[in-house]
Amino acid sequence: MQSVLFWSSYFLVILSQFSFLYAAPADSQCPNSNLDITGGRYILSKLYNDGSILRYICPEGFYPHPVKKRECDRGQWFPKVSTRPPVCKKVTCPNPNVLENGVVQPFNKVYSVNDTTTYRCHSDYTFRGSPTRVCQANGKWSGGTPICSRNTDHCPDPGTPPGASRQGHIFNIDDKVTYTCDKGLKLIGSKVRVCQDGGYWSGKEPECYADFTYDTPGEVAEAFSSSLKTTVTLHEESGQAGKKIRLDQGGRLDIYIALDASDSIDEKDFNKAKEVIKKLITKISYYEVSPNYEIIIFATDVTKIVSITDYKRGNATKLVDILTLLDRYKYDDKGQKTGTNIRKAYEAILASISFEKENKAAFNKTQHVIIMFTDGIANMGGNPKPVVEEIKQTIYRGDQKKWEEYLDMYAFGVGSDVEKEKIDEWVTKRENGEKFFFVLPDMNKVGETLDEMIDESTSVSLCGLYKDYYDLEIKSSMRLTYPWLIQIKITHDNGQSNCIGSLVTPRFILTAAHCFRFDDSPERILLSAPNAKDTRSLEVERFEPHPEYNTRKKEAVGISEYYEYDVALIQLKKSVKVSPDLRTICIPCTMETNGALQLSANDATCEKHKEVLLNSDLVKANFITLNSEKSKKTPKQNVQIRQGQQRDECIQQAEKILNINKETAKDMITENFLCTGGPSKNYIDDVTCKGDSGGPTFVEKNRLIQLGIISWGLNDTCLTGGEPAETRDFHTNLFSPKVQDFLKKYLGNETIDTPLHFL
Ligand SMILES: *[C@@H]1O[C@H](CO)[C@@H](O)[C@H](O)[C@H]1NC(C)=O
Ligand SMILES: *[C@@H]1O[C@H](CO)[C@@H](O)[C@H](O)[C@H]1NC(C)=O
Ligand SMILES: *[C@@H]1O[C@H](CO)[C@@H](O)[C@H](O)[C@H]1NC(C)=O
Ligand SMILES: *[C@@H]1O[C@H](CO)[C@@H](O)[C@H](O)[C@H]1NC(C)=O
Ligand SMILES: *[C@@H]1O[C@H](CO)[C@@H](O)[C@H](O)[C@H]1NC(C)=O
């Protein structure tokens, strides 16, 4: 799917079917001399062999001229450049001297990277937009379009973006303005805008893109995530005009992702593109919705990796399933098919949407999102535009308002060959200026975009997010893996305690009650977040142990130390600012965790959480140790929460080691404790040591969810050198009704900022 002309790519496809008949001519190599570009370099797709593509690469802020690529065809490079050797030219920005009723300084004929311009209105006119703009390396001006207007009409003066000219100077209801871009520039956005009743313009402000103009990952991340967020968040977002809640409870979200795998996207790019899809759906999984997915990979033909109908039938409803299916699909699976049939990809999506429409009563409550990744040259199958129109009509025949509300069509144009104007015709254009079409130079930049979006999601207060997910290259740092980890040092009248806590809301830290003594005062509790960049200490307002925590409660029955309800909360003087390296862990039986588990409103019960999270006799869980010896390898320790017979065995071990009878053991280890430790098959649980107290025992289920608090163990093997397989550890059970009551009283207190919503 090179930029070969329409007919020639067709010819290539035909040829490839018969290519086994011919041996490649031995002399088809192209020369390796006279290929250099002044100020840049080049890369080759197949060395000097026939069909190889040579691509010129310039440093940031420069672009190759007069050609950006050449192709080796029967021993010669085309196009020929003997009269105009290629050079890297400085990127220029579109002409800003289109401001009406104002002055642009300085006046240049051409504006290049780093040139600064300032804008001023004539008297009697009011200024809007950016008074200073700098020409950026991606060929766009910083800031927003400057406008000088009198604001006397129904709609505000829509201005004229740089590089454009505008017809239409009256801005009352139903008046039109029409835009064109200067020669050589492509118009992205709305060519025609109409002044609406509500005092705003239809469509999206146009932008004039040169061949070398790109969006920056930062720009795309901001625009794409704010747009997507409206779709994937259940909560109402206040303010912003034109934004609406498109997904109410009970509504459904169908997401179609189509990925171009034609030849110009080589194997490396293809694998990157798969990573991009993985990142995207992982990111969406952070939100409270559980979308249905269809994932399509296309070249000459279309392959459905996941179909929305299967998805709804329950074949592959888990994130991991999709990721596995994606991993399994290899570059070569698409065969020797070199064409790019974008139309066919949209046809496949249309077929799925039509099928859903016939079969689903809830169709009219379904939000549809289409995300297309392509390098943008449709060289076979014809123009996709009519199919895109048919998709709109299928969503809601004849009612533009409805399809605009229920359909979001995004496109990412990737690479230097993107046909911007064409792709722009396939995306949604909404009056609120939301952007649906993005132009990026390569798949790396798309990846960067999504990374930035992942950071951006920190503004959403979601619990249990961490970055150690799947194989997304961020593994190295513990910092982002345990962002809720809090180190607690308490100075008592005699001695000191070291404990661990977990941030459960921006204002509260959950830990063990036994870390404290009655004479402790808030000033003597020293907190730090070892993984946060901002290491300022967190100031304690107060601490609250569970009211029923009393180590001497069962002295009368021969239990000298008793640790039931070993739970305490520390309230901070000020809420922490949530960031990627400092954020909360989820706790069960809250609406927040219901979202994390991707459970529906019907399943929002504590019992359901227990069923999902404690779903076997051996539940894989983790805790964190800060013990310097043990944490050398990794601070993350592996245990299994033991239930049923496995739990009975725990209690028997307690009888043995503590030399107590069955009754006493049962009295000591009530249902309010979780048990870990001991062998199972060929694996021995890690064990807790002094200093691990108060830390969370957590499971990984989409996000990190805390189920217990480390309380006590049969033997501190770090101290005694005892056998790890022999000891057992006990954790305060967060599902315990009385623990829940305690947590709810403080963490659910609506008058303290960011309370949790308990079920
Ligand atoms: C623009 O300015 C930056 C910062 O001063 C500089 O690093 C860069 O090289 C400049 N770009 C061009 C194309 O001159
Ligand atoms: C889903 O299940 C159906 C019926 O069992 C099967 O035909 C189809 O291939 C499955 N799809 C996937 C993606 O596993
Ligand atoms: C959806 O369709 C049902 C049945 O056809 C109809 O009763 C309902 O009003 C529709 N809802 C919307 C929001 O159009
Ligand atoms: C812990 O294990 C060590 C070594 O086996 C042993 O000497 C000690 O008595 C044990 N402690 C308890 C409380 O059982
Ligand atoms: C909730 O917080 C407010 C403000 O700190 C406090 O006055 C009130 O006592 C709290 N309620 C409970 C049940 O702790």
Q: What is the pLDDT of residues 82-102, one digit of tens each?
A: 788 999 999 999 999 999 999
For the CA atoms of the chain, what is the radius of gyration?
31
Stretch 562-582: mean pLDDT, rounded?
89
Residues 6+ apart with CB under 8 A from 186: 208, 209, 210, 211, 420, 421
Tell me the pLDDT tens digit for each residue of 207-264.
Answer: 999 999 999 887 887 778 777 766 665 443 333 333 333 444 445 788 999 988 876 5
Q: Which atom of ligand 5 is nearest to the CA of 751?
A: 2
Quote the percentage of the chain above a pLDDT of 90.
44
pLDDT computed for residue 740 by the predictor: 97
pLDDT computed for residue 17 by the predictor: 37
Stretch 117-138: mean pLDDT, rounded?
94
Fold of the CATH domain 234-459: Rossmann fold (3.40.50)
pLDDT computed for residue 468 by the predictor: 46
Fold of the CATH domain 477-747: Thrombin, subunit H (2.40.10)
Tokens of 709: 């608090």
Ligand 4 centroid to 720 CA: how many Å? Answer: 6
The torsion angle over the Cα atoms of residues 619, 624, 627 and 629, rounded to 10 degrees, is: 70
Stretch 576-581: mean pLDDT, rounded?
78
pLDDT computed for residue 230 by the predictor: 63
pLDDT category at 546 given cuts 50, 70, 90 is very high
User: Taking the domain 27-90, which CATH number applies?
Assistant: 2.10.70.10
pLDDT computed for residue 388 by the predictor: 93
CATH 3.40.50.410 occupies which residues in the chain?
A: 234-459
CA angle 749, 248, 425 (to 5 degrees): 130
Question: Rounded to an integer, what distance in angstroms lies between the CA atom of residue 647 and that of residue 107?
Answer: 80
Ligand nearest to the CA of 88: 1
pLDDT category at 336 given cuts 50, 70, 90 is low
Ligand 5 centroid to 749 CA: how many Å? Answer: 6
Q: Is the CB of 90 under 6 A from ligand 1?
A: yes
**The pLDDT of residue 736 is above 90:** yes
The closest residue, in CA terms, to atom 1 on ligand 1 is 114
Contact 146, 129 (CB under 8 A): yes
CATH 2.40.10.120 occupies which residues in the chain?
A: 477-747
Question: Rounded to an integer, what distance in angstroms lies between the CA atom of residue 446 and that of residue 194?
Answer: 33
Q: Which atom of ligand 1 is nearest to the CA of 62?
A: 13
The closest residue, in CA terms, to atom 5 on ligand 4 is 722
Q: Which of 655, 689, 715 to mutate to test the pocket of ligand 4 (most atoms within 8 A of CB)?
A: 715
> In which element (H, E) is residue 641 found?
strand 636-642
Contact 539, 574 (CB under 8 A): yes
- Across the chain, what does the average pLDDT equal? 83
**The pLDDT of residue 569 is above 60:** yes
Neighbours of 78 (CB within 10 A): 13
Lowest mean per-residue pLDDT among 289-293, 457-461, 696-700, 733-737? 457-461
Residues 6+ apart with CB under 8 A from 191: 178, 179, 180, 206
CA angle 672, 675, 681 (to 5 degrees): 155
Tell me the pLDDT tens digit for each residue of 458-493.
Answer: 445 678 876 543 333 333 444 457 889 999 999 988
Ligand 4 centroid to 729 CA: how many Å? Answer: 14
**The pLDDT of residue 404 is above 70:** yes
Q: Is the CB of 745 under 6 A from ligand 5?
A: yes
**3-class SS of residue 374:** strand
**The pLDDT of residue 698 is above 70:** yes
Ligand 3 centroid to 371 CA: how many Å? Answer: 26
Neighbours of 276 (CB within 10 A): 21
Q: Which of 113, 115, 116, 138 to mutate to test the pocket of ligand 1 (most atoms within 8 A of CB)?
A: 113
pLDDT computed for residue 7 by the predictor: 32
Tell me the pLDDT tens digit for each residue of 642-685.
Answer: 999 999 999 999 999 989 899 999 999 999 999 999 998 778 99
| Nearest partner of 731 among 570, 618, 566, judged by Cα | 566
Ligand nearest to the CA of 317: 2
**The pLDDT of residue 590 is above 70:** yes
Ligand 5 centroid to 581 CA: how many Å? Answer: 29
CATH 2.10.70.10 occupies which residues in the chain?
A: 27-90, 92-209
Question: Which residues participate in catalysis according to the annotation?
Answer: 514, 566, 693
pLDDT computed for residue 27 by the predictor: 58
Angle between helix axes 342-359 and 385-395 (nearest 10 degrees) is 10
| Nearest partner of 509 among 579, 597, 457, 583, judged by Cα | 583
**Which one-letter amino acid corresponds to residue 362?**
A
Question: Rounded to an integer, what distance in angstroms lies between the CA atom of residue 529 and that of residue 229?
Answer: 29
Pick the CATH number of 92-209 from 3.90.230.10, 2.10.70.10, 3.20.20.10, 3.40.50.720: 2.10.70.10
Q: Is the CB of 759 under 6 A from ligand 5?
A: no
Ligand nearest to the CA of 561: 4
